[in-house]
Chain A
């Protein structure tokens, strides 16, 4: 027969391994049968003191007895099943329900996680109750439901309700905002209302997968139960981070507010707390209708049940999911029975943290916690846990249903003809469930990897059982294919238990089934990576060849050990039952993982080792380049680089994947080393060789031949690059230097004059800032150009010191470039990659430099014609100042002094500076004009501007004080004066006469 049996059914496995029990419908015969088959009793703890968190060991029987014992008092019996998320709380509630047996006097209500929404919860509670109030409630629920036809509508309704409550409720103290003063809460309300009232902000919150959509989906029961996290039921500060760019078209106020919210985590936290404090109420009002009062519902229901002579039994798979009515439900469940209200018992699964948030509720019942401590659960239970799922996967629906009677599940292996050999190789659990296609070690190791610290059944189901069986289902039908590198890839992709050299050796010795062999050694071996007797049986069963490695000695002895069902049970592996880390074996000391092994596991190679390797490789490359075949001149330029003709070899060209020390520098000519087992051995060998160890210290020296071959190929490539376009590069460098000399104080107009400037184009201190920056900015490029010339000259003439005659080969090139002012001209004529970068810098510098000079020149041009004789103008203005001062016609008393101060800074010679700057019109202030700024005109132009401003002030002031039109000669009416004088004299005469008469 070819291939191995796939003895399970994918659909059955998928059904059984749904990561949450909520996926199995309650009261469905098949789902119940699956549930019974997979249920694995786990240790519990009973909480004696909730506040002190004191516990004592308990069993599922204790839980069942506590829940089902008769109620002799009026107090409701509340049993809480608590524990971390994903520990199986809902599973236990489901199990409890399955164990209560026929209870004719109990009115049982089971609230599942599955497809639960707020409306459905109330409907479940009302199921079978037809009192007038119940009928009215159903109508209210139907109405509330009908009013909301889609998630989008619900989102809108919920946001509106939240906004309304935040705006109009006046509570000063809010949950989550304890200690926040009332005025601040008022301010928060205003801010929240402004945001929630904004269309764009609401759109942001309402987007698909946004916070409100998430809340609505959960409230409407549209989310998979297992995906639910308690945090998903609340508004968090992270939910309020919105895309600011979406608000750009809106008013400044909302933009400022959004910016504030995005930048302040504490503000978001406060706003989220404010929204969250109203969320439950808003949800209740939107999804169940504002008039629905769960307390009244419960009262009616309990009255009705009491009238039927029954008691109410409630199972809640997850209280958290009932957010919106959970607080009311908690209140309702604490109301004692009386002459009208029936007695009540409830089993409720809930996370610890959430329970503490519901005041006083937690104190009223018994608490059972699933013990997720791995040693407490023990290896045997964990294997049984996996075995049960494997068994359910092998059973048909019919077998599962039939065999459910009376209380046990059928064992699919019992009727399998392959069982003896299969169980002999792979083993079985004490319950007789075969572990195929795992063995006990594989189960232990994968469980340890999937659930390392505490019992996390969801991760075990997902990663150990479902993922592995999918791989197995694909590979088992082909001999020697399973377990490939895909097996347990999500848990340990590099199969760390097998050292890299072993892996490499396996690949060399066993090319046909190397991957399965590595997987078997990593996961199935007694002591990885050594082959033992058990492993040999499994390999033989799976038709996987095994390499013969020195580390495998003793394997035959292990083969003698029996591997029947009992052999892997508790009696043969007592040491693992209580060990803190039960499953994964540590590698043997001899194969302890070194940094290269860790590198293959995804750990970054440290910079020290990486650079040691890079240096070794570069040195070898240089040796090859200097050697006979290439015979190139190679000069070490820095500690980390070598000049090879026109090419620069850098240490960082050796690109070791996931290694530190390269500084993230990109390379045009990389020497790539990917993360592979072979490369790990190669690096290990190089590191050893660097330390002076023999080449065959690692992997028998095989690595050396591989790396030398690669170095040879790389060196060949570098040799081509080194000689390619060498002459072109020299000409390019000479031309670039010729243009760059423009920065120097005296760039010269002949080759002889130009050479010093080419060597050192440092501008004068008085040059324009943009020009100086350009010179600094292009210094590296200048240095490179000089290096190119030097290397070329040195290479061309051999040894010896540089002399003036060395310039000979590039004399003509320099001479032709003397009048060139931009790199663009060079690029256009000759091409060359260096020019584009320099041209960009030149253009930028010219823009920057001429921007200020241009502004000043334009400003001055409006006041002063460049052709003006400034000396004459200053002389006339000085006269004006003097006469205006005497006539009191200057604008103010300080004007004369101010003018004289400004004039003292200016000399007619400044006009030459101004004229030079003005002679370059805006259209000609391109990159080449940067060189005009060798002598910075800015300070002189600023002084001239200040003088003109002072002169303007004087002239405007004088102008404003002179009348627009001159009245001409004043006409003086002396006739009138004479007449008035005489008239008055006459009057005085008359008075004197009267006085004389009197």
Chain B
């Protein structure tokens, strides 16, 4: 077997290396341009989403606070810088676009726009949280206990509603998700008001001492021994009542 010529192979590699190095420079230009365009698009879309959501949110009293003056100033500068850059890019060789978009001015302008977006979103989130706390039903923080004789489906449904009602708005969903979230909270609060009393009704047929015992037993602290009155003992003696119960010893 004759080996391929060593020098020829090395020379070929050398040529390829040169080509690749040139190609990599082009890629760098394209990447810079695409990155700048991407940042601009992201901020534009976020501002657009806030604009779109605001009318409906305002109906419920949810609105962002005013932007700090410094941020407004930098936003004003940014807008000028972006327009200037757009004009320059349009009139120049595409290969110089990278140089233009890579300047500090453009970078600061894009950063200012991003700060504006973040500030508006934060402000909206705070306003929405205040609203959520205002619309929460009473007793929504109390544990949902499955008393004997209560439907398991009801208990599970109430626990799910409770979980969603007590959770803050997930800011990562963006401003566009705000209106739907507001509607969902309102709908869940209404369902809670409707179904929660059904759970209480299940206790009404029992002796008051049994009710007191069960309520206390459902808490984290548990029922103290003196709550096991003769009436409670009698209730506990019925196997039908205690099938699903467990005794947990805690010190």
Binding site for B on A (CB under 8 A): 861-865, 868-870, 872-873, 875-877, 879-880, 883-884, 887, 889, 948, 951, 955, 958-959, 962-963, 966-974, 976-978, 980-985, 987-992, 995, 998
Contacts and interface: CB of A to CB of B under 8 A. Distances in A.
Contacts of A969: 26
Contact of B37 (A884, A955, A977): A977
Sorted from nearest, which 9 A-B pairs have the closest CB atoms?
A970-B26, A873-B7, A980-B40, A981-B86, A873-B6, A876-B10, A988-B79, A970-B30, A972-B94
B107 to A, nearest CB: 12
Contacts of B27: 967, 970
A864 B79 contact: no
A974 B67 contact: no
A868 B80 CA distance: 65
Contacts of B135: none
Contacts of A869: 7
Contacts of B97: 972, 974, 977
A863 B9 CA distance: 11
B17 A981 contact: no
Contact of A963 (B14, B20, B38, B40): B20
Nearest to A948: B6
B181 to A, nearest CB: 23
B76 A992 contact: yes
A958 B15 CA distance: 12
Interface in B24-58: 26-27, 29-30, 33-34, 36-38, 40-41, 43-44, 47-48, 51
A983 B110 CA distance: 12
A959 B20 CA distance: 11
Given A955-B13, A974-B90, A984-B82, A966 B20 contact: yes
Contacts of B234: none
B33 to A, nearest CB: 5
Nearest to A887: B21
A977 to B, nearest CB: 4
Contact of B3 (A864, A875, A966): A864
A873 B78 CA distance: 57
17 contacts: A861-B3, A862-B3, A880-B10, A883-B14, A884-B17, A951-B6, A970-B30, A976-B37, A977-B36, A981-B36, A981-B82, A981-B89, A985-B78, A988-B75, A988-B78, A995-B72, A998-B66
Contact of A984 (B9, B20, B40, B67): B40
Interface in B63-78: 66-67, 72, 75-76, 78
Secondary structure call for the B interface: helix
B233 to A, nearest CB: 59
B90 to A, nearest CB: 5
Nearest to B14: A880
A876 B5 CA distance: 12
A982 B82 contact: yes
Given A876-B10, A880-B14, A883-B17, 12 more contacts: A868-B6, A876-B11, A880-B10, A951-B6, A962-B13, A962-B16, A963-B20, A967-B23, A978-B86, A980-B37, A984-B41, A988-B75
A977 B17 CA distance: 31
Nearest to A967: B23
Contacts of B36: 977, 980-981
A909 to B, nearest CB: 17
B1 A862 contact: yes
Contacts of A868: 3, 5-7
Contacts of A862: 1, 3
B222 to A, nearest CB: 54
B95 interface: yes
Contacts of A962: 13, 16-17, 20
Contacts, number: 167
B189 interface: no
A974 B33 contact: yes
B5 A983 contact: no
B168 interface: no
Residue among A973, A984, A991 with the most chain B CB within 10 A?
A984
B14 A876 contact: yes
A902 to B, nearest CB: 14
Residue among A862, A880, A883, A974 with the most chain B CB within 10 A?
A974
Contacts of A966: 19-20, 23
Contact of A987 (B13, B47, B72): B47
Nearest to A972: B94
Contacts of A870: 6
A982 B13 CA distance: 45
A902 B10 CA distance: 17
Nearest to A978: B86
A989 B89 CA distance: 21
Contacts of B37: 973, 976-977, 980-981
B85 A981 contact: yes
Contacts of B204: none
A981 B101 CA distance: 10
A513 B41 CA distance: 137
Contacts of A989: 79
B113 interface: yes
A985 B79 contact: yes
A984 B44 contact: yes
A989 B116 CA distance: 12
Given A861-B1, A883-B14, A992-B75, A970 B7 contact: no
B5 A977 contact: no
B83 interface: yes
B236 to A, nearest CB: 56
Nearest to A976: B37
B166 to A, nearest CB: 32
A987 B175 CA distance: 15
B23 to A, nearest CB: 5
B10 A877 contact: yes
Contacts of A978: 86, 89-90
Contact of A880 (B17, B19, B76): B17
B251 interface: no
A877 B8 CA distance: 10
B26 A990 contact: no
A988 B33 CA distance: 21
Contacts of A980: 36-38, 40-41, 44
Contacts of A951: 6, 10
B44 to A, nearest CB: 4
A864 B6 contact: yes
A985 B40 CA distance: 9
Given A884-B17, A995-B72, A865 B82 contact: no
A890 to B, nearest CB: 10
B157 to A, nearest CB: 42
Contacts of A976: 37
A972 B2 CA distance: 46
Contacts of B76: 988, 992
Residue among B10, B16, B18 with the most chain A CB within 10 A?
B10
A170 B90 CA distance: 97
B138 to A, nearest CB: 35
Residue among A877, A977, A992 with the most chain B CB within 10 A?
A977
Given A980-B44, A992-B72, A865 B23 contact: no
B3 to A, nearest CB: 5
B51 A990 contact: yes
Contacts of A887: 17, 20-21
B94 A955 contact: no
A962 B18 CA distance: 10
Given A966-B19, A973-B33, A988 B113 contact: yes
Contacts of B18: 883
Contacts of B34: 973
B211 to A, nearest CB: 54
Contact of B7 (A876, A963, A981): A876
A951 B110 CA distance: 48
Residue among A978, A981, A998 with the most chain B CB within 10 A?
A981
A862 B72 CA distance: 72
B104 to A, nearest CB: 16
Contacts of B33: 972-974, 977
